Amino acid sequence: MKKSLVSMVVMAVLAVPAAMADTIGGVYLGADLHFADAKGSFGQTGNQQNFEFDDKNLSSFYIKVEHPVPLLPNIKLQRNSITSDGTTSLNRTFEFADQVFAVGTQVAQDLDLSNIDATFYYELLDNDLVSLDLGVTAKYIDGDITVASQGQSATQDLSAVIPMGYLYGSFGLLGTGTKVFAEVNYVSYDGSSLSDMQFGVAYELIDSLAVDLALKAGVKKTKLELDDIDNLDADLTFDGAFISAELHF
């Protein structure tokens, strides 16, 4: 399986000199609330169907550890809730998990593609004006999708570990305690592509020796284009505004 983007990222982070390692360190705890508009299609390979999804409030929780040890990457662990449901009138005969649903059938769909990210990254720049992090993420998806109608139910499991490139950048507005930032996880290979992207503004509400508290807001988008992953094709998008809070000890 070809992963040219991930290979480039690995080469880049290995080239970072020890002088660029985090010189301050600390532990970060954060939580996001994503007001997501879900849309898209899924099905067994070669048999996708568009579905009507309800909007959902999705959550993410993370812990991030930064340290001053040269060459050893910083780490971020994040749990992402990716769930939605809804009802759809099928516009074609739909075969899913060995069940056949007739055209025109009203079905209820329920998906859970929640996942865990383990990100290993280096700080290339870290000052009051500009921050830049580069690394790799291992995304572990362990979920399922269920389609049901009266008298019928079919469930397809999905389990995969997917390597992704990671990039974070921020620009501070001097004297305001405010930063604009972007955070991206992305990979594309063998007809599939996955991305987690968020862009927004962070405001440092508390800045003390003991603890810092930052509030964030912006837009967030998660997109999954799956090509024959565990016999599943999917083109799903979750996008909308988000708010979050982050503590730094």
Measured CA distances, 142 to 59, 145, 146, 159, 162 (Å): 16, 11, 14, 4, 11
Strand, helix or coil for residue 231: coil
Question: Does residue 18 carry a pLDDT above 70?
Answer: no
* For range 167-180, the mean pLDDT: 94
Confidence of residue 24 (pLDDT cuts 50, 70, 90): low
Given a cut of 80, whether residue 5 has pLDDT beyond it is no
- Which pLDDT score is estimated for 229? 84
Position 5, amino acid = L
Summarised one tens digit per residue, pLDDT across range 202-247 is 999 998 888 999 999 999 999 999 998 888 899 999 999 999 999 9
Cα–Cα distance between 112 and 158 in angstroms, integer?
9
Residue for token pair 């568009």: 50
Taking 60 as the threshold, does the pLDDT of residue 13 lie above it? no
Residue-range definition of the domain harbouring residue 125: 4-248
Distances (CA, A) of 241 to 79, 126, 222, 238: 18, 27, 12, 10
CA dihedral 196, 200, 27, 136 (to 10 degrees): 30
119-149 confidence digits (pLDDT tens): 999 999 988 899 999 999 999 999 999 999 9
* Residue of 249, 241, 155 whose CA lies nearest to 208: 249
pLDDT of residue 171: 96
pLDDT at 201 over 50: yes
| Lookup: tokens for 212 | 């810092």
Confidence of residue 191 (pLDDT cuts 50, 70, 90): confident
For 214, list phi and psi in degrees, rounded to 5.
Answer: -115, 140
Mean pLDDT across 145-171: 95
Q: What whole-number distance in Å separates Cα of residue 73 and Cα of residue 228?
A: 33
Q: Is the pLDDT of residue 17 over 70?
A: no
Summarize pLDDT for 74-125 with one digit per residue, the tens.
999 999 999 999 999 999 899 999 899 999 999 999 999 999 999 999 999 9
More confident residue, 1 or 74: 74
Confidence of residue 16 (pLDDT cuts 50, 70, 90): very low
Tokens describing residue 59: 């959550």
Reply yes or no on whether the pLDDT at 197 is more than 90: yes
- The total of structural domains in the chain comes to 1
Query: Considering the chain, what percentage of its residues have pLDDT values greater than 90?
Result: 76
By the 8 A CB rule, do 135 and 13 touch?
yes
CA distance 240 to 196: 12
Q: What is the mean pLDDT of residues 38-63?
A: 93
pLDDT of 14 reads: 42
Report the CATH number at residue 60. Answer: 2.40.128
- DSSP codes, 200-226: EEEEEEEE-SS-EEEEEEEEEEEEEEE
**Of the candidate ranges 14-18, 41-45, 229-233, the one whose mean pLDDT is the lowest:** 14-18
